């Protein structure tokens, strides 16, 4: 007998972290379903980022039992911490540990009190729970008890054809974050947006739907998109749809520039921040105020962590100066003077916009050159403690970079440090 699609889902689930515990718990009841992104990904043969589970009611009680069972099955790893968090308002619970995450929701129906607001939630039927969702391919549920599959209209054909389709005409107005989600899914899954869904998306953007959502929720979706392996394609899709322009009139995504910047970015750089810096770069290139403050205010509105916000702002703001000055630097010591202190993402972007060769030299070579001697060596040689130590070390590093030391090695560095005029 051929194996059905839901049976394949359950078979794959069995091998995922927490999957066995889920299936064991579900065997004693008839209301546990796998749903949403987890089913979509398993049907496509992908590994889901997390498991989404729906139960008839009392998600929180189910989460407690699940955490205990996952914990006892993971007995070989006693240090693993199992955490549960609960969201009364949305009737959801999350069980997470080092090895995985399982989201549990009680079946619910949703209504939106105002466009862009978070939904009001009430207990719902299995059907309502499917139809409250964003796209048909996320509205497929597989029962963990009897492997029956339920789905929203068109869901299975859309999965088979690789199509993203909203479940109703109000979808983007109710929840405009779905515009960003659609771009992310299209990029990640390689799915096409179905014709009338594309029209609804454009209409929602033109009507200003994105202006009704909080900056915090926009930020959450942007961070998810920036963190995807296919982030470039997701941002290109957002740009194409008009999402970026609706978020801020100056945002631009130049795919070739972003691609080049990522190719230049070293492993210790952050691709997500380089892409974000490329998005906000027009605020710097056509500045009429204080671009640094504008970028900080924008990223604050989107709730970016302060460290990431400051790194992106510093990277973007440095780009025009770097483009101008990097091109003129022949000597490695001058390269260091220009690029030192600028986040790697800013140097990569400047490289992508014209100063490619010096940017690459800085990122791949010059920034890694260090002295063999330290301040301790100078103290031991009788230089008094204080700023003079730093000046001498810097002078030697410049000479080392420019290949002006008598020979390689500590001795020549120490001699040059003691001889330096300060």
Interface with ligand CTP (CB under 6 A): 36-37, 49-50, 52, 133-134, 138, 175, 177-178
* Separation of alpha carbons 155 and 217, rounded Å: 26
Residue in the shown chain whose Cβ atom is closest to ligand CTP? 37
For ligand CTP, give the closer residue by CB, 108 or 309. Answer: 108
Tokens representing 290? 């204080």
Q: Is 353 helix (H, G, I), strand (E, B) or coil?
A: coil
We find the least distance from the C-beta atom of residue 16 to ligand CTP, in angstroms, to be: 13
We find the least distance from the C-beta atom of residue 53 to ligand CTP, in angstroms, to be: 11
Beta carbons within 10 angstroms of residue 411's beta carbon: 13
For ligand CTP, give the closer residue by CB, 121 or 350. Answer: 121
Contact 80, 91 (CB under 8 A): no
For ligand CTP, give the closer residue by CB, 228 or 402. Answer: 228
Contact 194, 136 (CB under 8 A): no
Nearest to 100 by CA among 83, 112, 115, 86: 83
For ligand CTP, give the closer residue by CB, 37 or 320. Answer: 37
We find the least distance from the C-beta atom of residue 112 to ligand CTP, in angstroms, to be: 11
We find the least distance from the C-beta atom of residue 138 to ligand CTP, in angstroms, to be: 3
Nearest to 137 by CA among 170, 91, 186: 186
* Separation of alpha carbons 287 and 4, rounded Å: 58
For ligand CTP, give the closer residue by CB, 40 or 309. Answer: 40
We find the least distance from the C-beta atom of residue 131 to ligand CTP, in angstroms, to be: 10
For ligand CTP, give the closer residue by CB, 165 or 178. Answer: 178
For ligand CTP, give the closer residue by CB, 178 or 392. Answer: 178
Angle of helix 344-352 relative to helix 271-285, nearest 10 degrees, comes to 60
For ligand CTP, give the closer residue by CB, 39 or 363. Answer: 39
* Separation of alpha carbons 399 and 333, rounded Å: 8
We find the least distance from the C-beta atom of residue 38 to ligand CTP, in angstroms, to be: 6
For ligand CTP, give the closer residue by CB, 212 or 415. Answer: 212
């Amino acid at each position: 007998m051929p194996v059905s699609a839901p049976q394949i889902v359950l078979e794959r689930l069995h091998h995922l972290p927490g999957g066995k515990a889920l299936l064991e718990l579900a065997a004693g009841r008839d209301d546990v379903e796998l749903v949403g992104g987890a089913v979509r990904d398993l049907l496509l043969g992908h590994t889901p980022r997390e498991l989404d589970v729906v139960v008839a009611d009392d998600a929180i009680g189910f989460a407690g039992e699940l955490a205990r069972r996952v914990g006892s099955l993971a007995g070989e790893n006693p240090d693993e911490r199992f955490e549960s968090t609960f969201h009364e308002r949305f009737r959801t619970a999350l069980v997470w540990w080092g090895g995985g995450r399982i989201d549990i929701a009680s079946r619910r129906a949703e209504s939106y009190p105002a466009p862009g607001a978070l939904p009001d939630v009430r207990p719902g039927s299995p059907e309502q729970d499917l139809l409250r969702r964003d796209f048909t391919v996320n509205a497929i549920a597989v029962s963990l008890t009897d492997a029956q599959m339920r789905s929203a209209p068109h869901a299975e054909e859309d999965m088979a054809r690789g199509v993203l389709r909203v479940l109703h005409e109000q979808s983007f107005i109710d929840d405009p974050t779905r515009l960003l989600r659609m771009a992310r899914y299209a990029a990640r899954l390689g799915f096409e947006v179905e014709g009338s869904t594309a029209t609804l998306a454009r209409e929602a953007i033109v009507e200003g739907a994105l202006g009704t959502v909080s900056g915090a929720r926009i930020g959450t979706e942007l961070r998810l998109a920036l963190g995807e392996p296919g982030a470039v394609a997701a941002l290109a899709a957002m740009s194409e749809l008009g999402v970026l322009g609706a978020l801020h009139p100056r945002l631009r995504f130049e795919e070739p520039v972003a691609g080049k910047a990522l190719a230049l970015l070293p492993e210790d750089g952050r691709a997500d921040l380089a892409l974000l810096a490329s998005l906000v770069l027009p605020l710097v290139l056509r500045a009429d105020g204080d671009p640094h403050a504008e970028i900080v205010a924008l990223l604050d509105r989107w709730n970016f962590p302060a460290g990431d916000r400051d790194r992106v702002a510093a990277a973007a703001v440095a780009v025009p100066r770097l483009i101008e000055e990097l091109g003129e630097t022949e000597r490695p010591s001058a390269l260091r003077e220009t690029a030192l202190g600028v986040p790697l993402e800013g140097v990569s972007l400047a490289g992508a916009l014209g100063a490619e060769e010096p940017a690459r030299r800085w990122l791949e070579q010059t920034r890694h050159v260090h002295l063999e001697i330290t301040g301790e060596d100078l103290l031991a040689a009788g230089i008094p403690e204080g700023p003079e130590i730093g000046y001498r070390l810097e002078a030697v590093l410049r000479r080392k970079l420019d290949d002006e030391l008598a020979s390689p090695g500590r001795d020549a560095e120490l001699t040059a440090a003691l001889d330096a005029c300060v």
